[in-house]
């Protein structure tokens, strides 16, 4: 790249914020997404993304199943601008349980916004996701949503964040008012009070007034006094924002508000711009960071076939890591080192697709008809680079999968392998027999998606029989032969060649480990193996 392009790439990278919203279903992710679009001027009235009640349907809810359930299973990226910044909001699947799919999307994000429903706090099923983000040191901004209605005390919520996720909360805003009479927030950074007024259905921006503490005290009286007392308590506990702690994933700045009434939404959007990191040099598989201004490179974090049932296509979503992407450019696919043409590049959100002509670090491009690309693959223009594989998690649920119509076995096999490549499930095969595979998953929803997609897209009905296994360990062929003699386990081979030993209970595993400490039985921790 020439110097001008170098400068352009650095300047464009600096403008970008690439983040994902993580939350439990119903905490308000869709509502908040829509309100962020409203405040960024990308929609003129809220209601465009999600219609109310029975018409409830988000732009990203394009799969029939998603519409039936009103949840978003697939993930894409939404790009909009705000105050000369380019925001890439990655849509994470709204699974009720932890899913690898969500994790893969997060691998393409530079930060996350965690939305909590103040009435519910941290809910058990999503705890794992939050903990995983925490353990990966991802910068997380917290938004305590639904302050317009009765909920837990904010202090109690901060306590939950600290105890359950291990993140130190640092509130930057604090609520003024009571449920049912939520007035606005105190900005702890300058002590000012931001008073909001609701608009009809929250369809347009809430009116905002900024009052200095003196005026706020006169006009809001006891509500403001109480908020100030609580802020004094927070000051006393040292719950103050520290940018380094946030960027290293130790502390989370906390904002309060109500996505429904638009209270606090602008402050959150500004926080994403002011506090969250812009893309930085991404480490390759040997942990050598690739400078942003190096020639184009990116990695595939999601693969999706048949997004549009009328066009059987195959889209690979690529997060740009370095350089400038220009449609039509010739790239190299790593690991095959084969050339890859990018004639069909698109930005995809929901069912809508726009051709994308250029992109910069932090952006997401959808490469259409890219059936050779797999999750974790790297694409580069020149100066070969290989990004590390995306972590896969230890499966905890297992089911034997069989085609109901044995006459269509060949098609069944083809389709299920395709879904495995998309990361819907992991497939395990018997070491000796060629028999039916076992589908392995981290969360229950993965099985439902598998059954639904086999049926809806390929007309292949399947039968799933759960096996009693509950945990898996990485092993090798020598240990596999030894394990065959002791029972209480089953060794299977994953498509990537890894041997997995499945156990029905931790008891069996512990016994075998106790009797044979030299056997290879490694814990699978987010893609790496630990002994
Ligand atoms: P999700 O994407 O995280 O699943 O949540 P979503 O935005 O769909 O919100 C779930 C429900 O919570 C919706 O109500 C939504 O209107 C409501 N909600 C979101 N933010 C707020 C808030 O700040 N305050 C209050 N009081 N409610 C909020 P619903 O009845 O399920 O759907 P709808 O009929 O309102 O669309």
Q: Is the CB of 123 under 6 A from ligand 1?
A: no
Q: What's the mean pLDDT in 153-173?
A: 94
Q: Is the CB of 52 under 6 A from ligand 1?
A: yes
The answer to whether 16 touches 363, Cβ cutoff 8 Å, is: yes
Question: If you measure from the C-alpha of residue 44 to the centroid of ligand 1, how many angstroms do you get, rounded to a whole number?
Answer: 20
Q: Both tokens of residue 28?
A: 């308000």
pLDDT tens profile 437-477: 999 998 887 888 888 888 877 777 789 999 999 999 999 99
Q: What's the mean pLDDT in 468-494?
A: 92
Q: Is the CB of 266 under 6 A from ligand 1?
A: no
pLDDT tens profile 297-335: 999 998 887 655 555 667 888 999 999 999 889 999 999
* Per-residue pLDDT, 499: 93
Residue among 81, 27, 18 nearest 260 (CA):
27
Q: How far apart (Å, rounded) are the C-alpha atoms in residues 382 and 365?
A: 18
Nearest CA to ligand 1 atom 28: 260
Q: Is the CB of 149 under 6 A from ligand 1?
A: yes
Average the pLDDT over each of 215-224, 239-248, 311-320 and give the range with the smallest value: 311-320
* Per-residue pLDDT, 405: 84
Structure letter (DSSP) for residue 250? S
Q: Is the CB of 148 under 6 A from ligand 1?
A: yes
Banded model confidence at residue 5, pLDDT cuts 50, 70, 90: confident
Banded model confidence at residue 346, pLDDT cuts 50, 70, 90: low
Mutate to test the pocket of ligand 1, among 20, 21, 26 (most ligand atoms within 8 A of CB): 26
Banded model confidence at residue 368, pLDDT cuts 50, 70, 90: confident
Roughly how many angstroms between the first and final C-alpha of the chain, as a whole number? 44
Question: If you measure from the C-alpha of residue 47 to the centroid of ligand 1, how many angstroms do you get, rounded to a whole number?
Answer: 12
pLDDT at residue 112 above 60?
yes
* Per-residue pLDDT, 95: 61
Nearest CA to ligand 1 atom 35: 52
Q: Is the CB of 487 under 6 A from ligand 1?
A: no
Nearest CA to ligand 1 atom 26: 146
Residues 6+ apart with CB under 8 A from 101: 73, 75, 92, 93, 95, 302, 423, 424, 446
Q: Does the domain made of 3-72+111-275 have the CATH classification 3.40.50.300?
A: yes
Question: If you measure from the C-alpha of residue 260 to the centroid of ligand 1, how many angstroms do you get, rounded to a whole number?
Answer: 7
CATH entry, 282-380, from 3.40.50.300, 3.30.2130.10, 2.30.110.10, 3.90.850.10: 3.40.50.300
| Region of 184 on the Ramachandran plot (φ > 0 left; ψ -120 to 50 alpha; else beta) | left
Strand duo 358-359 + 352-355: pairing: unpaired
pLDDT tens profile 135-150: 889 999 999 999 999 9
pLDDT at residue 178 above 90?
no
* DSSP SS3 for 378: strand
Mutate to test the pocket of ligand 1, among 21, 28, 78 (most ligand atoms within 8 A of CB): 28
Q: Is the CB of 318 under 6 A from ligand 1?
A: no
* Other CB atoms within 10 A of residue 74 CB: 21
pLDDT at residue 189 above 60?
yes
Banded model confidence at residue 56, pLDDT cuts 50, 70, 90: very low
Nearest CA to ligand 1 atom 34: 53
* Per-residue pLDDT, 479: 95
Nearest CA to ligand 1 atom 36: 52
Banded model confidence at residue 59, pLDDT cuts 50, 70, 90: very low
Can you give the C-alpha Rg of the chain in angstroms?
25
Q: Is the CB of 259 under 6 A from ligand 1?
A: yes
Q: Is the CB of 146 under 6 A from ligand 1?
A: yes
Mutate to test the pocket of ligand 1, among 56, 144, 260 (most ligand atoms within 8 A of CB): 260
* Per-residue pLDDT, 96: 61
Banded model confidence at residue 493, pLDDT cuts 50, 70, 90: very high
* Per-residue pLDDT, 243: 97
Question: If you measure from the C-alpha of residue 267 to the centroid of ligand 1, how many angstroms do you get, rounded to a whole number?
Answer: 20
pTM over 0.95: no
The answer to whether 436 touches 400, Cβ cutoff 8 Å, is: yes
Banded model confidence at residue 76, pLDDT cuts 50, 70, 90: low
Residues 6+ apart with CB under 8 A from 91: 20, 33, 60, 72, 74, 75, 76, 77, 78, 105, 349
Q: Both tokens of residue 62?
A: 């394009």
Q: Does the domain made of 397-530 have the CATH classification 3.40.50.300?
A: no
pLDDT tens profile 375-421: 999 999 999 999 998 877 788 899 999 988 888 888 888 888 888 88
Phi then psi for residue 341, to 5 deg, are -95, 140
Q: What is the DSSP string of 433-487?
A: -----EEEESSHHHHHHHHHHHHHHH---EEEEE-S--EEEEE-HHHHHHHTTT-
Asked if domains 3-72+111-275 and 282-380 share a fold, the reply is yes
The answer to whether 315 touches 389, Cβ cutoff 8 Å, is: no
Q: What's the mean pLDDT in 341-364?
A: 74
Q: What's the mean pLDDT in 248-258?
A: 96
Q: How far apart (Å, rounded) are the C-alpha atoms in residues 22 and 249?
A: 15
pLDDT tens profile 255-305: 999 999 999 999 999 999 999 999 999 999 999 999 999 999 999 998 887
Residues 6+ apart with CB under 8 A from 171: 154, 158, 188, 234, 239, 253, 254, 255, 256
Residue among 161, 192, 160 nearest 174 (CA):
192
Strand duo 499-503 + 523-525: pairing: unpaired
pLDDT at residue 67 above 50?
no
Average the pLDDT over each of 37-41, 347-351, 362-366 and give the range with the smallest value: 347-351
Q: Is the CB of 151 under 6 A from ligand 1?
A: no
pLDDT at residue 250 above 80?
yes
For residues 524 and 490, the model is more confident at: 490
What is the sign, positive or negative, of the torsion defined by CA atoms of 422, 427, 432, 434? negative
Question: If you measure from the C-alpha of residue 435 to the centroid of ligand 1, how many angstroms do you get, rounded to a whole number?
Answer: 46
Nearest CA to ligand 1 atom 14: 26
How many Å separate Cα 102 from the centre of its chain? 4
The answer to whether 392 touches 307, Cβ cutoff 8 Å, is: no
User: Could you state, in order of their start, the residue ranges of all structural domains in the chain?
Assistant: 3-72+111-275, 282-380, 397-530
pLDDT tens profile 86-104: 999 997 776 666 677 788 8
């Amino acid at each position: 790249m020439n110097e001008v392009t170098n400068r352009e790439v650095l300047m464009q990278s600096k403008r970008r914020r690439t983040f994902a919203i993580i939350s439990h279903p119903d905490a308000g992710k869709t509502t908040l997404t829509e309100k962020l679009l409203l405040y960024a001027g990308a929609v003129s009235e809220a209601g465009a993304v999600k219609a109310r009640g029975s018409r409830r349907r988000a732009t990203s809810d394009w799969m029939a199943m998603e519409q039936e359930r009103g949840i978003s299973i697939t993930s894409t990226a939404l790009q909009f601008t705000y105050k000369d910044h380019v925001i890439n909001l990655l849509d994470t699947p709204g699974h009720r349980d932890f899913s690898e799919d969500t994790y893969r999307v997060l691998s393409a994000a530079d930060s996350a916004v965690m939305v909590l429903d103040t009435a519910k706090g941290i809910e058990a099923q999503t705890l794992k996701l939050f903990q995983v983000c925490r353990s990966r040191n991802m910068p997380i901004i917290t938004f305590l949503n639904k302050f317009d209605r009765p909920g837990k005390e904010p202090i109690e919520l901060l306590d939950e964040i600290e105890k359950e996720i291990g993140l130190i909360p640092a509130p930057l805003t604090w609520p003024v008012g009571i449920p049912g009479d939520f007035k606005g927030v105190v900005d702890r950074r300058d002590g000012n009070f931001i008073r909001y007024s609701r608009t009809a259905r929250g369809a347009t921006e809430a009116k905002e007034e900024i009052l200095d503490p003196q005026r706020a005290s006169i006009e809001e009286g006891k509500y403001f006094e109480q908020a100030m007392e609580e802020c004094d308590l927070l000051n006393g506990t040292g719950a103050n924002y520290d940018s380094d702690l946030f960027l290293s994933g130790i502390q989370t700045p906390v904002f309060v508000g109500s996505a429904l009434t638009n209270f606090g939404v602008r402050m959150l959007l500004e926080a994403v711009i002011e506090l969250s990191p812009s893309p930085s040099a991404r480490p390759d598989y040997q942990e050598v960071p690739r400078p942003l201004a190096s020639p184009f490179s990116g990695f595939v974090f999601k693969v999706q076939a048949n997004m549009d049932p009328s066009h059987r296509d195959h889209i690979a979503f690529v997060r740009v890591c370095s350089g400038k992407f220009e449609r039509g450019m010739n790239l190299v696919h790593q690991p095959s080192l084969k050339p890859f043409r990018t004639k069909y590049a698109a930005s995809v959100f929901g069912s809508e697709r726009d051709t994308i002509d250029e992109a910069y670090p932090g952006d997401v491009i959808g490469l259409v008809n890219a059936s050779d690309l797999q999750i974790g693959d790297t694409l580069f223009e020149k100066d070969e680079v290989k990004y590390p594989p995306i972590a896969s998690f230890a499966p905890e649920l297992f089911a034997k999968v069989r085609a109901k119509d044995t006459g269509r076995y060949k098609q069944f096999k083809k389709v299920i392998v395709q879904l495995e490549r998309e990361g819907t499930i992991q497939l395990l095969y018997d070491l000796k027999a060629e028999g039916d595979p076992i589908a392995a998953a981290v969360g229950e929803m993965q099985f439902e998606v598998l059954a639904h997609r086999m049926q809806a897209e390929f007309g292949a009905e399947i039968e799933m029989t759960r096996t009693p296994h509950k945990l898996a360990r990485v092993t090798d062929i020598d240990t596999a032969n030894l394990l065959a003699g002791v029972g209480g386990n089953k060794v299977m081979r994953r498509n990537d060649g890894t041997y997995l030993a499945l156990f029905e209970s931790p008891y069996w595993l512990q016994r075998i480990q106790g009797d044979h400490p030299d056997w290879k039985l490694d814990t699978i921790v987010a893609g790496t193996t630990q002994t």
